[in-house]
């Protein structure tokens, strides 16, 4: 808030936090559990760099981490309901019609084998195959700001194929194996069903072809998606010489940035054509561009 006093800014911030806690209250059947959830949220917003159970408990004034742990483990409340509350709050404050939905995954490094979904798998967090959990996330990005609005835990086949292990970690029986792109499609569909306004989806090569692209084409949404360098596509550059000339021309106009940006009009109605749009690191051989022939959008 430009020109606002510190007291006014802090009061506005505190008022907004109280509003969020009020929205969360309906998720919990007991007042003491709701109070612990509020303290848990306060701890997450605190200054501690590491948010361990003991550190959160100390910040909340609790004698130990048991109340904090109960919120995440033993407590019974609707996590998807909280997701929807967060999404609705984000839409109320950040929504624009030309917003972008960004899909990506991240890894959470682990030492043991008990955490749900933990396995030796690749994560960009470590840049290698290591023991970790993988979460797929959807972030809402607009000119007003950005925030997460959805998430899904990736369960490898060694987990979904082990009913005893799933039962131990309280995974619902209906949960089956789903690839990361499949989880992304589920989040995109939830976002569309909630009438969240956005025009584009961006994701890397993990999500660049197949179901994600088809879901977005059916929804008439623009997209910028990564594809592998060995993926066959119908290029708008008719031959390698044309691509080299394009790269050189944009390197000249984008010196120091290493990227080419081809701007186009926003998506139109179904069946219409728009120009190409991409922001592709052409200097990297692993990045290529592929045109969506159905709508005229591009994946890069």
Predicted local distance difference test score (pLDDT) of residue 52: 78
For residue 73, name the pLDDT band (cuts at 50, 70, 90).
confident
**Segment 146-182, tens digit of pLDDT:** 999 999 999 999 999 999 999 999 899 999 999 999 9
For 204-213, 227-236, 250-259, which range has the lowest pLDDT when averaged over its residues? Answer: 250-259
Mean pLDDT of the 24-39 span: 90
CA–CA distance, 4 with 6 (Å, rounded to integer) = 7
* Helix, strand, coil share of the chain (percent; to 5): 40, 20, 40
Predicted local distance difference test score (pLDDT) of residue 148: 97
At 208, is the secondary structure helix, strand, or coil? coil
Please name every residue paired with 151 in a beta bridge, in sequence order, or none if there are none. 137
pLDDT above 90 for 189: yes
Rounded to two decimals, the pTM is 0.75
Domain boundaries, the chain: 1-77, 78-198, 221-299
The better pLDDT of the pair 238, 31 is held by 31
- Measured CA distances, 14 to 2, 21, 51 (Å): 18, 11, 21
Predicted local distance difference test score (pLDDT) of residue 255: 54
């Amino acid at each position: 808030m430009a020109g606002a006093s510190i007291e006014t800014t802090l009061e506005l911030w505190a008022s907004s936090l109280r509003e969020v806690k009020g929205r969360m209250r309906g998720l919990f059947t007991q007042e003491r559990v709701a109070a612990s959830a509020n303290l848990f949220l306060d701890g997450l917003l605190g200054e501690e760099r590491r948010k361990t159970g003991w550190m959160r408990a100390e910040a909340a004034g609790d004698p130990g981490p048991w109340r904090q742990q109960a919120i995440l483990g033993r407590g019974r409340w609707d996590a998807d309901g909280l997701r929807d509350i967060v999404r609705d709050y984000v839409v109320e404050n950040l929504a624009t019609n030309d917003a972008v939905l960004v899909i990506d995954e991240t890894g959470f490094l682990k030492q043991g084998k008990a955490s749900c979904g933990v396995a030796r798998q690749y994560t960009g967090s470590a840049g290698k195959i290591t023991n970790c959990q993988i979460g797929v996330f959807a972030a809402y990005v607009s000119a007003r700001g950005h925030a997460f609005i959805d998430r899904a835990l990736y369960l490898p086949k060694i987990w979904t194929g082990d009913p005893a292990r799933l039962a131990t970690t309280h995974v619902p029986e209906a949960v089956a194996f789903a690839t990361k792109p499949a989880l992304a499609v589920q989040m995109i569909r939830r976002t569309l069903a909630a009438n969240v306004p956005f025009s584009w989806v961006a994701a890397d090569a993990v999500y660049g072809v197949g179901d994600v692209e088809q879901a977005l084409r059916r929804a008439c949404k623009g997209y910028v998606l990564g594809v592998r360098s060995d993926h066959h596509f119908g290029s708008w550059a008719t031959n390698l010489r044309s691509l080299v000339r394009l790269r050189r021309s944009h390197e000249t106009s984008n010196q120091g940035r290493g990227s080419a940006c081809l701007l186009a009009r926003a998506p139109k109605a179904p069946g219409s054509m728009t120009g190409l749009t991409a922001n592709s690191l052409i200097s990297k051989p692993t990045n290529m561009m592929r045109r969506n022939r159905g709508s005229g959008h591009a994946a890069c």
